[in-house]
Structure 1
Amino acid sequence: MSVLPHVEHEPGVLVPQAADRHSATVLWLLSTLPAPSRDRARLEWQEHKVAMLPLGTLFSAARIPGQLVAALTGCTETAELDAFMDQALGGGPVICDPRHFRYYALVPADMPKAWQRAADAWRAMGVELLGLGSYLGVPQVDAVGGARACASYWSVPMGSAATLCAPLAVARLIVAGRRSTDPGEGV
């Protein structure tokens, strides 16, 4: 396997090619699984476009109802919602499940435990912090855009391996969503 050369972005700064970032991201996601299960996940991606990966080791997820995001944006257009999630979460990776109209912001593995008090309050809004003991259907790294009507896709693609959403950005989005759905509600 040949490695593509790096491209010099600015003097003295090397930027890996997209193919290198793609491969590194795939390997990082697969590293959540024991070695024998990685081939199964690759097969799931190939056949079903989504692989079930365990949460709570390298990353966890904040499940956010699409209605909460729609209330914040005032729209229901997929492209606009995806752009909003990208901006609101600083480019951190987000998976969209259009079938159930949910977003999954990928966050550090310890967020469900570290933010447990807040998570208890968020549950009433349908927000759930998923960690150890949970699995998430993770789309192929190149499954981006809302054109896939039924399959999960990357609303905000993972820019590179181990890039995650900042917990504070996720919390701010949830609190803003809470205020927009119930303006009289405090936090």
Structure 2
Amino acid sequence: MGDVDAFLDQALDGGPVISVLHGGARYYALVPASVPRTWRDAAEEWQAVEVDCLGRGAYLGVPPPARVEFDAETWASYWAVPVAAPGELCSPLAVARVIAAGTHLTTCG
């Protein structure tokens, strides 16, 4: 998990990411609520590669602020990239680039 966490920290410029360990690791990059509606088209395409975009009406459990390291024995989730300051979120464009790169790697290689 450490390598993935470090990659996400760098690729998302320190934007907050939650890792959930139920049934395999899933990562949730937190973006502003004002993400453009144009993401809906991309989100539908991303579902084919098991990328979910949560929006209004969705709930995501948030780990305590101090839970910043992977510990599969005791925690179900942790901050893969902790929140640096209130209101600091991931850039939607950076998240889209990470998803596009991951999609390309999994479908082409």
Q: Same fold (TM over 0.5)?
A: yes
Q: TM-score if structure 1 supplies the norm length?
A: 0.54
Aligned to 1:156: 81
Aligned to 1:93: 16
Write 1 or 2 for the structure with the bigger share of strand. 1
The 5 Å alignment of 1:121-140 reads 121-140=45-64
C-alpha separation in 2, matches of 1:112 and 1:144: 30
C-alpha separation in 1, matches of 2:87 and 2:34: 14
Give the AA of the match of 1:90: D
Superposition RMSD in Å: 1.5
Write 1 or 2 for the structure with the bigger share of helix. 1
C-alpha separation in 1, matches of 2:58 and 2:42: 19
Say if 2:40 is the partner of 1:116. yes
Asked if the contact 1:111–1:129 (Cα under 8 Å) also holds between the matched residues in 2, the reply is: no
- The structure, 1 or 2, with the larger RCO (C-alpha pairs under 8 Å, 6+ apart) is 2
C-alpha separation in 2, matches of 1:137 and 1:126: 19
Kindly name which structure, 1 or 2, has the bigger radius of gyration based on alpha carbons: 1
Q: Which runs of 5+ in 2 are unaligned?
A: none
Structure 1 position 151, deviation (Å): 1.9
C-alpha separation in 1, matches of 2:36 and 2:61: 18
Aligned to 2:71: 147
Structure 1 position 131, deviation (Å): 1.0
Superimposed CA distance per residue, residues 60-87 of structure 1 (whole angstroms, 9 cap, x where no aligned partner): xxxxxxxxxxxxxxxxxx1111111111
| Count of matched residue positions in the alignment of Structure 1 and Structure 2 | 107
Superimposed CA distance per residue, residues 26-72 of structure 1 (whole angstroms, 9 cap, x where no aligned partner): xxxxxxxxxxxxxxxxxxxxxxxxxxxxxxxxxxxxxxxxxxxxxxx
C-alpha separation in 1, matches of 2:63 and 2:3: 20
Give the AA of the match of 1:163: E
Compared with structure 1, are the counterparts of its residues 146 and 112 closer, same or farther at alpha carbon in structure 2 (3 Å cutoff)?
farther
Structure 1 position 148, deviation (Å): 4.6
Instruction: Give the share of equivalent positions with the same residue, in percent.
Output: 51
Q: TM-score if structure 2 supplies the norm length?
A: 0.90
Structure 1 position 134, deviation (Å): 0.4
Structure 1 position 112, deviation (Å): 6.7
Q: Which runs of 5+ in 1 are unaligned?
A: 1-77
C-alpha separation in 2, matches of 1:174 and 1:112: 16
Say if 2:97 is the partner of 1:180. no
